Structure 1
Amino acid sequence: MSVETEASATSLALSDVNINWERLDKTKFHVIGAILFTAQMGSLHPISVVKTRMQVVEGTLAHMNGFSVFKNIMRNDGIRGIFRGFGTSAVGSLPGRVLALTSLEISKEMVLKHTEHMKMPETTRVGLANGVAGMVSNVVSCAYYVPLDVICQRLMVQDLPGISTYNGPFDAIRGVLRTEGVRGLYRGFGLTMLTMSPANALWWGAYGAAQHLIWKTLGYGGHSEKKPSHLELVSVQATAGTVAGACSSVITTPIDTIKTRLQVMDNYGAGRPSIRKTTRLLIEEDGWAGFYRGFGPRFLNMSLWGTSMIVTYELIKRLSLKQE
């Protein structure tokens, strides 16, 4: 069977899975997305708080495991402590999510159309389209999300030694602007752009390729025109999301550790914090193992995030289909 025939058959059999941008009601897509993604973000926020604190804390606390850090937060601050920064993150993410999802879907559709007649395996084509879309989405939304990330992470760790204390997000913004200007809100921007865009491309590319391979393994595509059940849809998407999230966490944790410390820590002595200073201080404190501080919570967070995010995302797309 030719590549074109295989692609056509696969598309026909899995048309309920691969819902493209043109088939979506855009208003429903963004409204439902805002509701469901906020709920998903809330369920994983405590893990993010633990991960961030593990990456930033110094001294004897630096060697506590994730569960011990969680217990320490609960003992000192209760439920409020593990949800620090959530309100700012949830409300602030809404405009950024519109940018990210729109650019993701449009760029994926464009790549799929431009590669439609190229002689390449369909798995490669789907992985390429998802990977390019993930990178474009990250580049488009990065200018918005980096300042939000800086403020949210400062709120998460503000009771730690050597970290400034703020009375809410607006006070944090004023504090950063007063001491560093607008540049302070973009700490780690270059590092985020240069590293997280490829990482996002890796996540979406791995997800697209993994999902396509699983469907083929289960007998969908090719000459088959059977449609997957709802349980099969969720199971395959969740599995592909877990695989993509796990792979991404292993590769990106060292960079995420440097970025987090660069964005929230101020005790660098004279001069502005830099990637070099941050890296040197981390190595001095904990050796090369320090780059994987918070790896357990991050691995768990990325795996759970990958699973829940993609299942939520695909559900949003199905709920947002135009009436035909």
Structure 2
Amino acid sequence: MSPAASPLRDEGTRSQVVLAGAIAGLVSRFCIAPLDVLKIRRQLQYHSLADPLSTPLSRTSGGVLYLARDILRHEGITGFWKGNIPAEGLYLSYGATQFLAYRSANQALDLVEQRGNVKIPGVAKSFLAGATAGTVATTVTYPLDLLRTRFAAQGTERVYTGLIASIRDISRHEGPDGFFRGLPAGIAQIVPNMGLFFAFYESFKPLDADIHLPFGSGDALAGIASSILSKSAVFPLDTVRKRLQVQGPTRGKYFGSAKMPAYRGVMGTIRAIVQKEGWRGLYRGLGVSLVKAAPASAVTMWTYERALSVIQGASQQSDAGHGIGGS
């Protein structure tokens, strides 16, 4: 069959994709919130190779367990959910925007194939659609991402008294640009990250049909493998983004940032981290990030596929019911 004769894939309607993506984002966030806080704290641990008084190496190497005990001891169990309100908004809007943009990009590429009578390789199509989806979702939801990071980075000292207060404070002292600190690093990270993620996911997903894993777990395993591979490739840019997000008038008040220097720009931040902390500084938090990536991606993709299937099934039953009633 020629490319022009290939039917468009059934990716669901816009409303179905938005709803399924939103559900996937909310469920995923609820499950991995504590790991997200630990990852952000780990990335903000500053250790100058030339300053033995900065965060001790024994503590940075202790990593997640040290941080978890410290949070539990000084901030209580609720400390693991700091920043959860903007994070829930972030995951809700990001999940909906990401899957909607991914579906739209896929359909646009399908139309290019049909009208141009060309065949775009499947992996290339997934990469382009994923990169587009990631860029759109990151830009639209970035202010929530910044707020999530700042709240998660608050230790025992409260920088902001609440969500509304934080928005008002940033607007007053940093202006609109304050909500987009580190966005270039976010875009530079998300394009290859999401492009690679969806490319890997679409490559791994057909294996479920051959292996016949129970309960749709093939979707979850494909999400895990895809996320680990893609996140590892671009993790330094995620660290750069987090460091840039806590810049501004309140820079020295966040966890681990008392001795942290001021950073400017993506390349300037990379150079500063490498010079002061070594290459290891760019990868601090990678371990917990990968641990987080597995359940987050598994839950997200599994929930999305199941939610979309349920929503489409309910829609078909509703349409059938209307058809019977109207005949």
Partner of 1:304: 295
Question: What is the identity, as a one-letter code, of the residue corresponding to 1:185?
Answer: F
Aligned-residue CA RMSD (Å):
3.0
Equivalent of 2:132 in 132, 136, 140: 136
Question: What is the identity, as a one-letter code, of the residue corresponding to 2:69?
Answer: K
Contact kept? 2:131, 2:194, Cα under 8 Å: yes
Partner of 1:49: 37
Distance 1:91 1:311 in 2: 20
Change (3 A) 1:88 1:269: closer
Distance 2:119 2:178 in 1: 48
| Equivalence map 1:82-97=2 (5 Å) | 82-97=80-95
* 1:20 aligned onto 2:20: no
Deviation at 1:135, TM superposition (A): 1.3
Distance 2:162 2:171 in 1: 15
Question: What is the identity, as a one-letter code, of the residue corresponding to 1:183?
Answer: D
Greater mean deviation of Cα atoms: 271-280 or 311-320:
271-280
* 1:258 aligned onto 2:240: yes
What is the number of residues matched between the two proteins? 293
Deviation at 1:101, TM superposition (A): 2.1
| Equivalence map 1:178-257=2 (5 Å) | 178-212=172-206, 214-215=207-208, 217-218=210-211, 231-232=213-214, 234-257=216-239
Deviation at 1:187, TM superposition (A): 0.7
Change (3 A) 1:276 1:160: farther
2:76 aligned counterpart, secondary structure: helix
**Deviation per residue, 1:61-87 (Å, 9 max, x gap):** 444311221121111112210000011
Contact kept? 1:29, 1:320, Cα under 8 Å: no
Partner of 2:77: 79
Question: What is the identity, as a one-letter code, of the residue corresponding to 1:295?
Answer: L
Q: TM-score, normalised by structure 1?
A: 0.79
Contact kept? 1:48, 1:301, Cα under 8 Å: yes
Question: What is the identity, as a one-letter code, of the residue corresponding to 2:133?
Answer: S
Equivalent of 1:151 in 129, 132, 147: 147
Distance 1:243 1:269 in 2: 34
Distance 1:196 1:277 in 2: 19
* 1:171 aligned onto 2:165: yes
Equivalent of 2:22 in 21, 34, 50: 34
Distance 2:104 2:73 in 1: 46
Distance 2:73 2:217 in 1: 37
Greater mean deviation of Cα atoms: 149-158 or 166-175:
166-175
Q: TM-score, normalised by structure 2?
A: 0.79
Contact kept? 1:52, 1:156, Cα under 8 Å: yes
Deviation at 1:309, TM superposition (A): 1.1
Partner of 1:317: 308
Deviation at 1:272, TM superposition (A): 6.7
Change (3 A) 1:88 1:119: closer
Contact kept? 2:20, 2:307, Cα under 8 Å: yes
| Equivalence map 1:45-124=2 (5 Å) | 45-58=33-46, 59-60=55-56, 61-115=59-113, 118=118, 124=121
Change (3 A) 1:270 1:183: farther
Deviation at 1:49, TM superposition (A): 0.5
Distance 1:189 1:295 in 2: 20
Distance 1:171 1:284 in 2: 36
Distance 1:233 1:70 in 2: 33
Distance 1:94 1:194 in 2: 22
Deviation at 1:129, TM superposition (A): 2.7
Distance 2:294 2:91 in 1: 21
Change (3 A) 1:97 1:215: closer
Distance 2:241 2:130 in 1: 20
Deviation at 1:241, TM superposition (A): 1.0
**Deviation per residue, 1:198-239 (Å, 9 max, x gap):** 211110111001213x15754xxxxxxxxx6xx556122122
Change (3 A) 1:95 1:253: closer
Distance 1:319 1:107 in 2: 23
Partner of 2:264: 273
